[in-house]
Structure 1
């Protein structure tokens, strides 16, 4: 009647949704969102022991140094803890290094004794500082009689040098030392003890307790005579 097409009137009409409505229940909402993951604010008492410790430390620093505000105290605490970590790390490194040095026995000028245990491979160059008594005791306890005889021989050379009967040199041979000895008795004893040393050490023979005791007696007798 008014000149409006019928198709335009049909497109402007409302569409009714007749699908069933699902009713939602919220009875478990409180329980579902009340776990630890949904607690965004905690008191100091509810925090872990490390957080409580840092808070206690922060409060302590704030009182001791009159720090203004919790923020400054917290920053001061973090710096103090970092310094503490560094100090602990350096101490650990120091004690590890010290243990390695003591184990290797290369701390030649240590304070624990007047004469120190030096490595076997360098013993000939350090006979004047070596603690032969301790070295021999260790070798005997391990039943390493060959090594003990070697220590006795070097101990003898040091004793002869200290008595000014020979002039020790790592490059010298037994014949050189024998030539330097003036006394026939000293030459005879040195010939015998050097023979024992060469036979046992360089011959690489297994030495039993009885054989070692005989060699030990010969070396100790000669060393004591030289000292006397």
Structure 2
């Protein structure tokens, strides 16, 4: 499903870029054609006299009025002078302005080569961020179990379809469905037990201590793991790193509760302001979380980026905020990547 979504998104991007290129080419051709017509009118005006000359110049003015006002300003001035003056030099200056406009138009809006555009698009779509993310282990195991189960059902249908011979009637079908139901229950209970053990082990696992370069992305650990890591760092006497772990745990906790769309490319203050985004759910809880994190974010900047000495009281303050936030968000918040 993810691959299909990425593929459809890619197609839409390609179509959009192609449409933009077509629009650029079309606008260039339309402007160039307008200027060419105006140039023909002015050349006819050079050999005309009196009212005929004046009408040809006015037609040229109306012709170029569809061009962008800022870009055609020198051309309008030259045409106005040609209307007022009967000097041949005035028309010659207007023709010169048209030629300059056409030269500028072709240099600014030249359509790129299709091969170059295609190569650039291929380079963009080859970036790691454009590739479909790998499926989690549990999802892949579930798909494998589903395929095995489907194959088993087909095998049972072939094996038990003739149970009891042709005279067995509905009895053979009944036995077949009883066996299938028992197998479904056994597999379901086994899968539930296995997933429960995996989650229990994940909750019990205490993460190893990360260095400063690794403690930059709240997605590396769950909120509970960030909390456990902070306690480890406190036990080792590293209050500064413990404050960092508690703060990342706060961001991760909001992300798990779907109150914050965490992005490691954003700053802490951008994450704080996103808590007031109208597109996210539960505005009351988000507003309470905003007021909780605002002074902590300011203090964290002084401690982490300002290199102020970090005390045990600072770590306890961040831990207390973590516990407060954990009591505010939903206890059944789903774990998200």
- Fold conserved between structures, TM > 0.5: no
Q: How high is the TM-score relative to the length of structure 2?
A: 0.31
Rg larger for: 1
Q: How high is the TM-score relative to the length of structure 1?
A: 0.45
Bigger helix fraction? 2
